[in-house]
């Protein structure tokens, strides 16, 4: 990943407004910053969240709280808990979607 030219910046995530994104079930609440083409997000999934789409975008994702279930379109499943991360590129066949039974809080850069 080539990070865009950005001055040193600190973020008080509580001061960034939340946007709601409905899932097939549940909802995701995003706090989002943009730096050129780079998006940095703090995301909270409600319990019983299931994404309503397959995502082809690359991410670096860190689970801060809770448990995340990630399904790849090819049928593979991964379970991540607090302190675990995944990395996926914009290229290839790793379309994925997220779900959680108990809720999760994530930090995502894409």
**Each residue of 22-58: pLDDT tens digit?**
999 999 999 999 998 899 999 999 999 999 999 999 9
User: For residue 55, is it within any domain?
Assistant: yes
pTM higher than 0.75 for the full model? yes
**% of residues, the chain, pLDDT over 90:** 85
In contact, 38 and 3? CB cutoff 8 Å: yes
71 falls within a domain:
yes
Q: Domains in the chain: how many in total? A: 1
> Mind listing the pLDDT tens digit for each residue in 77-109?
999 999 999 999 888 778 999 999 999 999 999
* Domain that includes residue 102, residue range: 18-109
Q: Is residue 11 included in any domain, yes or no?
A: no
């Amino acid at each position: 990943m080539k990070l865009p030219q950005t001055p040193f910046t600190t973020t008080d995530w509580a001061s960034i407004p939340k946007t709601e994104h409905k899932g097939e079930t549940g909802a995701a609440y995003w706090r989002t910053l943009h730096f050129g083409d780079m998006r940095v997000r703090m995301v909270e999934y409600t319990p019983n969240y299931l994404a309503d789409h397959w995502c082809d975008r690359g991410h670096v994702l860190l689970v801060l709280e809770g448990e995340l279930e990630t399904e790849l379109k090819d049928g593979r499943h991964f379970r991540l808990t607090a302190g675990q991360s995944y990395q996926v590129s914009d290229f290839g066949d790793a379309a994925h979607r997220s779900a959680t039974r108990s809720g999760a809080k994530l930090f995502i850069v894409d």
